[in-house]
């Protein structure tokens, strides 16, 4: 599938739970990904990859802070410290977690951030791609999950297997950032954002059926029931127009044809 993105781009097919790096209309890399749960689906979108972040911190989305983090803190006041997380005010100043109301009855007016490290939920690499949904691609500290056939377990972001290889492909036009250099920087433990010299387009798509270059037709489950919704909408539209001729508001249209 050609998106008209140019020579290099990345595609994530959500139902297939795979990402592909495309160069000159040829898939040159393919990666297993973990995408959104059915109740927290990954969105379809197009964006531009702007940077690769090594040893990223994780700023917890407010929705997760309000529900999941708050629930953990009510059960275990040591949860944040065990998870290497801190609470920050609007000016990025640390707050004592014990001074926070973790009842979950109000919208948090604070930020929860997880330090970088092997324990970090984003793993060692984050791929920034600004978009309206605040989702991105990243590593994970639970790489064993990539061996699962059912890989719909995130809050909407796309976790990428062997993401260091994808990072090296994205940065291959920047000689300083070979795969060895990326590995060395990650090993240093230092947080670093590497800006893309040239942005790379990315598309997250929802295809449950497609044909490969060798004419093989591939099918995947409609995990988010989007095909089902489309079929229902099409059926409703067909029913509307089939009945339109007898409706007082539309009968005149047929009479004048």
Residues acting as catalytic residues:
138, 157
Asked if 154 and 40 count as a contact pair (C-beta separation under 8 A), the reply is: yes
- Looking at residue 255, what DSSP letter applies? H
161 is written with which tokens? 């297997």
Give the side-chain half-sphere CA count within 13 A for 124. Answer: 18
Residue 205's φ and ψ, nearest 5 degrees, are -120, 170
Asked if 58 and 113 count as a contact pair (C-beta separation under 8 A), the reply is: yes
Asked if 36 and 152 count as a contact pair (C-beta separation under 8 A), the reply is: yes
Burial of residue 105 (number of CB atoms within 10 Å: 0-12, 13-18, 19+): exposed
Task: Using alpha carbons, select from 18, 224, 35, 62 the residue that is nearest to residue 140.
Answer: 35
Q: How many helices (H) and strands (E) does the chain have?
A: 7, 15
Return d(Cα 38, Cα 247) in angstroms, integer.
Answer: 39
């Amino acid at each position: 599938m050609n998106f008209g993105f140019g020579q290099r781009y990345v595609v994530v097919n959500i139902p297939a739970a795979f990402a592909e790096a495309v160069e000159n209309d040829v898939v040159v890399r393919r990666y297993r990904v973990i995408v959104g749960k059915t109740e927290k689906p990954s969105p379809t979108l197009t964006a531009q990859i702007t940077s690769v972040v090594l040893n990223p911190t994780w700023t917890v989305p407010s929705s997760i802070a309000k529900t999941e983090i708050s629930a953990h803190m009510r059960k275990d006041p040591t949860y944040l410290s065990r998870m290497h997380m801190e609470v920050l005010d609007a000016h990025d100043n640390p707050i004592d977690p014990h001074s926070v109301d973790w009842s979950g009855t109000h919208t948090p007016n604070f930020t929860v951030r997880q330090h970088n490290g092997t324990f970090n939920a984003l793993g060692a690499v984050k791929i920034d791609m600004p978009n309206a949904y605040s989702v991105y691609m990243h590593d994970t500290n639970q790489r064993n999950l990539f061996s699962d056939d059912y890989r719909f377990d995130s809050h909407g972001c796309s976790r990428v297997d062997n993401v260091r290889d994808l990072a090296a492909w994205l940065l291959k036009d920047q000689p300083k950032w070979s795969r060895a250099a990326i590995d060395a920087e990650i090993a240093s433990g230092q947080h670093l954002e590497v800006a893309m010299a040239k942005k790379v387009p990315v598309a997250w798509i929802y295809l449950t059926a497609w044909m490969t270059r060798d004419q093989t037709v591939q099918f995947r489950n409609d995990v988010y029931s989007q095909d089902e919704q489309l079929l229902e909408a099409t059926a409703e539209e067909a029913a509307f127009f089939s009945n339109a001729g007898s409706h007082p508001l539309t009968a005149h249209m047929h009479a004048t044809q």
